[in-house]
Chain A
């Protein structure tokens, strides 16, 4: 079947099999390999992207379901000259070690900051319950998200 999506601001048209998962479409068809596959069973959040601005696990969505939609992946977050505030904050606060969970963590955080205006530590921890990190112990991730939530310009452009 034919699908047409806007990924990181660019319109893409492709012929896909109905069973193609969105994460495989992004990685294998569009070569956007920033989005990782961790568990492949909807648990770890490594594959998190924004679909119409909301965080979703792209291993649990069909490319066909995203037909017509606007998608943002980790590659589309930074502006031309600078990183997105959430990316900056992860760097500043050492919110990553091996980095495998990071693209998904950052996308989940962007969605969370957008949705919850009054984030505190407990809300950040709860809001990231769908994202697993095997390295950091989460403390610096939480710090980074709280710092990013306080950045006046929440989205880079």
Chain B
């Protein structure tokens, strides 16, 4: 399968990428690792007329200890995140969940920024960022702005990024002593989650779900049940409150609701919620 023809540009800086995006309107797409975009283009489900390849902007690839949080450059590859000793110590949930993405070949190419900017409800890292309360930095023609993970995922494959904005940094709070869990249920090793749950328990409790709605989504009813003193089992019964999970070849809506309850309960128990 061969993608439809497109023009290809390789900007030397984020500013140049933003300029190219601004000049070319909706027809252009950023290319990072290409492991979500190229499969779509091969199936001709996406046919951008211009690809702006930012894959070489190595100054957007870093993992830095920044006091109370870790700053991660958007172009940091999954392989770097999963093997980072800083992240393993300070944000083990993120390092572990990243090691569960796809397979080693995918993790050698895919980037954390691409995973988030793609806005796929079946992706693992958006749920992890929601549970952790991460903040994203977007750069645009007028400078940069911060977007909380809670405001970022707006629709199916839709995020708060403007068409001429580039996601440049992901900031995750350090939680070295927090309880955490990542539950990913799939049928074959390399597959996407049929349902996934990310949980972090650190005084307060953050819980978010993979593949349970048209966007990555926070399990707010579970969180408030725990805040109100519910046990893991009681809180898990609220896993799909207010959600209308999709049905597909892998699972019906009802089965997804069932899985969500079971996986949320396991996640809460593993994260240390009584």
Separation of A55 and B109 alpha carbons in the complex (Å): 9
Contact across chains for B190 and A43 when beta carbons are under 8 A apart: yes
Q: Is A121 an interface residue (CB 8 A)?
A: no
Out of A19, A55, A60, name the residue touching B35 (CB < 8 Å): A60
B108 closest partner in A (C-beta)? A54
Determine the chain B residues whose CB is within 8 A of the CB of A65 once the complex forms. 31, 34, 53, 55
Separation of A45 and B31 alpha carbons in the complex (Å): 22
- Segment with Cβ contacts to A, from B98-106, B156-164, B175-183, B232-240: B98-106
- CB-defined interface of B1-33 with A at 8 Å, one 1/0 digit per residue? 111111110100000000000000000000100
Contacts A56-B109, A129-B189 hold; do A62 and B34 have CB atoms under 8 A apart? yes
Determine the chain A residues whose CB is within 8 A of the CB of B58 once the complex forms. none
Contact across chains for B38 and A62 when beta carbons are under 8 A apart: yes
Q: Is B91 an interface residue (CB 8 A)?
A: no
Q: Is A78 an interface residue (CB 8 A)?
A: no
Q: Using a CB-CB cutoff of 8 Å, which residues 36-57 of chain B contact chain A?
A: 38-39, 42-43, 51, 53, 55
Out of B2, B51, B53, B108, name the residue touching A56 (CB < 8 Å): B108
- Determine which residue in B1, B4, B38, B53 has the highest number of CB atoms from chain A within 10 A of its CB, and name it: B38
Determine the chain A residues whose CB is within 8 A of the CB of B109 once the complex forms. 56-57, 60-61
Q: Is B201 an interface residue (CB 8 A)?
A: no
Separation of A57 and B106 alpha carbons in the complex (Å): 8
Contacts A41-B39, A41-B42, A64-B53 hold; do A19 and B6 have CB atoms under 8 A apart? yes
Contact across chains for B105 and A40 when beta carbons are under 8 A apart: no
Determine the chain A residues whose CB is within 8 A of the CB of B103 once the complex forms. 45, 129-131
Separation of A129 and B104 alpha carbons in the complex (Å): 8
A115 closest partner in B (C-beta)? B104
Q: Using a CB-CB cutoff of 8 Å, which residues 26-44 of chain A contact chain B?
A: 40-43
Residues of A in contact with B (beta carbons under 8 Å apart): 1, 17-19, 21, 24, 40-43, 45, 48, 51, 54-57, 60-62, 64-65, 108, 111-112, 115, 126-127, 129-131
Residues of B in contact with A (beta carbons under 8 Å apart): 1-8, 10, 31, 34-35, 38-39, 42-43, 51, 53, 55, 79, 102-106, 108-109, 189-190
> Can you give 15 contacting A-B residue pairs, CB < 8 Å?
A17-B5, A40-B42, A41-B1, A41-B43, A45-B103, A45-B105, A48-B105, A60-B35, A62-B8, A64-B53, A65-B34, A65-B53, A65-B55, A111-B104, A112-B104
Given A42-B106, A54-B79, A62-B34, 19 other A-B residues pairs in contact with their CB atoms under 8 A: A1-B8, A17-B5, A18-B6, A18-B51, A19-B5, A21-B42, A45-B105, A55-B108, A56-B108, A60-B34, A61-B109, A62-B31, A62-B38, A108-B105, A126-B189, A130-B102, A130-B103, A130-B106, A130-B190
4 smallest beta-carbon distances between A and B, as pairs: A130-B103, A18-B8, A129-B189, A54-B108
